[in-house]
A and B are shown apart, each in its own frame.
Chain A
Amino acid sequence: MTERTPQPEQKEPRDAAYWARYAETLKVSGVAEGATNINVEGRRAVGPLQGFGKMWQKTYRVRLGGVAVSPAEVIQTWKDNYKDFWPEGNVFYAPLAGITPGEVALISGSLPGGVKLSTGVMVLYADEESFTLMTPQGHPFSGWITFSSFEEDGATIAQAQVLMRANDPLYEVGLRMGGHKMEDEMWQETLRNLAAHFGAREPVETNLVCVDPKLQWRHYRNVWHNAGIRSALHMVTAPLRWRSARKRR
């Protein structure tokens, strides 16, 4: 027989307010004009363990040399202006409550062939000096992106770190055929834009590490939720939806 020692009453941990609360599926609190919520509502959030492809840890960082700004100020600015630092062609529809734990943001990205990718992210964690976004099923990758700022050798550093696997076999092929490069360029430009906002013009350092070269074949069925395919289908079937809407009127 196993005896369990009575546990003392648990105090609320210091990090409790920084984490999203557990929910089985994602719920979008409001859909901004221009956003499409076809691949986020009702999906589960997925981390790097649920993906299909090789696991990568990609770190992009820029030194804000010669700028008197604290890590907390950098992160507050990043949270408040997140969409403005993204490169053109991608739109981040910030949640109404801003980047706070548990909130879900919709994303519109560009895919080859003129397809508009509709996806999103959940704010998994947010404190004064970092925040982390987690992807939903169907997103091109399964994982987390952590944005942080800290001091190093007398300068403030801004960093984005992605821990990810391609979500399904199609995305894995896409990442190998130029997708990784596109993603690297996107985060490099984001960091350059952030640094420029503070008046810093230093190069972005990139460090790519393949944490696990194995493919997780047991997750090949993730392709069912592929947001690229679903976005393309949504686009090509738009005339049918317009026609049936007109008939109803």
Chain B
Amino acid sequence: MTAETENLPGTLHALRGEFEGIREIRRTRRSEMPQAQITMDVRRVSAKVSVVDVKGELTAFAEGVLMDAYGQASEGGVRGIVMNFEGLEYMNSSGIGLLVTLLIRVNREKQKLLIYGLSDHYQSIFQITRLDDAIAIHDSEEDAVKAAST
């Protein structure tokens, strides 16, 4: 196999290379604090958009994990941060507070913060706390990424 064919898009080798690339980008963030029961995996889905997959409990103890994930998601001039809350299992008011401070950071960097995967319960919490006034909530990753790219 020549070097040229190895790099042709669609070949098995190229796909494996892409997969390894994605794995390299996807670093699981686990807090060293025992109380933080959350992981946030970062995926770069396009040159300008990153997706953060949230799994677990969003409480005050998640601050380090969230800010690390945001830092990683912002690398390389990303303009849109999409948070996937399909794996959100628990959230208290401190967790909502963290999202407010994250939103301020995102706005300061002139980025967009978008969300998808909220259950009905968490959508209602976004309404009560009026976070839905400031953060766009989407039904699917496809919609959120599309909105983040525009």
Query: Can you give 30 A-B contacts (C-beta < 8 A)?
Result: A2-B143, A10-B121, A13-B122, A14-B89, A15-B92, A18-B92, A19-B128, A22-B128, A46-B130, A47-B129, A49-B100, A49-B131, A49-B134, A50-B133, A57-B101, A124-B93, A124-B128, A124-B129, A125-B92, A125-B93, A130-B93, A130-B94, A132-B93, A134-B129, A146-B93, A146-B97, A148-B94, A163-B101, A212-B104, A212-B108
Is A4 an interface residue, CB under 8 A from the partner?
A: yes
Q: A47-B100, A124-B129 are in contact. List 9 more A-B contacts (CB 8 A).
A: A2-B143, A22-B128, A49-B131, A57-B97, A125-B92, A125-B93, A130-B92, A161-B94, A212-B108
**Closest 10 interchain pairs by CB?**
A132-B93, A125-B93, A212-B104, A49-B134, A22-B128, A22-B127, A47-B130, A22-B124, A13-B121, A15-B90
CA distance A45 to B134 in the complex (A): 15
Q: Say whether A45 contacts B130, CB under 8 Å.
A: yes
- Which of A14, A50, A161, A212 has the most chain B CB within a 10 Å cutoff? A212
Contact residues of B: prevailing secondary structure: helix
Min CB distance B84 to A, Å, is 13
Chain B residues within CB distance 8 Å of chain A: 60, 89-94, 96-97, 100-101, 103-104, 108, 119-122, 124-125, 127-131, 133-134, 139-140, 142-143
Q: Mark A155-181, 1 if CB is under 8 A from B, else 0.
A: 000000101000000000000000000
Query: Who on chain A is nearest to B128 by CB?
Result: A22
